Amino acid sequence: MILYFSATGNSKYVAERIAKATNDECIFILDIMKDEKCFLSIKENENVGIVSPTYAWGCPSVIIDFLNKVSFSGKKKSYFYYIATYGTTPGNNGYLADKNLSQNTGIKFYAFFSVKMPDTWTPIFDLSNKETVTVINKNAEPQIDEIIQNIQQKSSGNFMRNKLPKFVAPSYKPYYENMRKTKHFTVDDSCIGCRLCEKMG
């Protein structure tokens, strides 16, 4: 099973590309978070992958909440792997994910991967140039192929590119809290009430 969170589609794309190659099913994390127990059953020989964007050099709060809530039955010795999509650096994403998963379940990831994708932190990065975005997306393909090979071989280790040293990890929280302030978000009469933003929150 491949569990993913994606706000704008990059991580969803990576999860689905891998699922196709490994004959896995993809599960959107917010769908199972609705279940109070957040319980997942692992089948014989099943791998468990988690795919997430990088937020503030760390994990989105959805991922942290999920890793602290989920419980697994069955093959706890299954091959667990974590993939961060990122724009400039995945920071300490893998370290934070591993810490939260192991504190809650006792399970540790065997492998950590990263895929560089268009950076959706739009206050700083400009995604309006189609050519630039196309080049980044094209360059992501061999990175995903390499991850698929590693998953098929059940490789273990930290294969994340451009990650930051562990001592930077404590800066994640204040950086993230500051980043997610919502004072610039407003709703006006053009809101059609589809509630998509609420569901994605």
Give 3-state DSSP helix, strand, coil % of the chain, rounded to 5: 40, 20, 40
* Dist. CA 44–CA 73, nearest whole Å: 11
Binding window for ligand FMN (CB under 6 A); candidates: 39-47, 52-60, 145-153, 190-198: 52-60
Collect all residues with Cβ–Cβ distance below 8 Å to 38 and sequence separation of at least 6. 32, 66, 69, 70, 71
When asked if residue 179 is in the footprint of ligand FMN (CB under 6 A), the reply is yes
Binding window for ligand FMN (CB under 6 A); candidates: 20-28, 35-43, 49-57, 75-83: 49-57
When asked if residue 6 is in the footprint of ligand FMN (CB under 6 A), the reply is yes
Q: Which is nearer to ligand FMN, 67 or 78 (CB)?
A: 67
CB 179 within 8 A of CB 61: no
When asked if residue 120 is in the footprint of ligand FMN (CB under 6 A), the reply is yes
CB 4 within 8 A of CB 52: yes
Among 62, 70, 80, 91, interactor with ligand FMN by CB under 6 A: 91
Binding window for ligand FMN (CB under 6 A); candidates: 21-29, 69-77, 86-94, 135-143: 86-94
CB 44 within 8 A of CB 90: no
Shortest Å distance, C-beta 43 to ligand FMN: 26
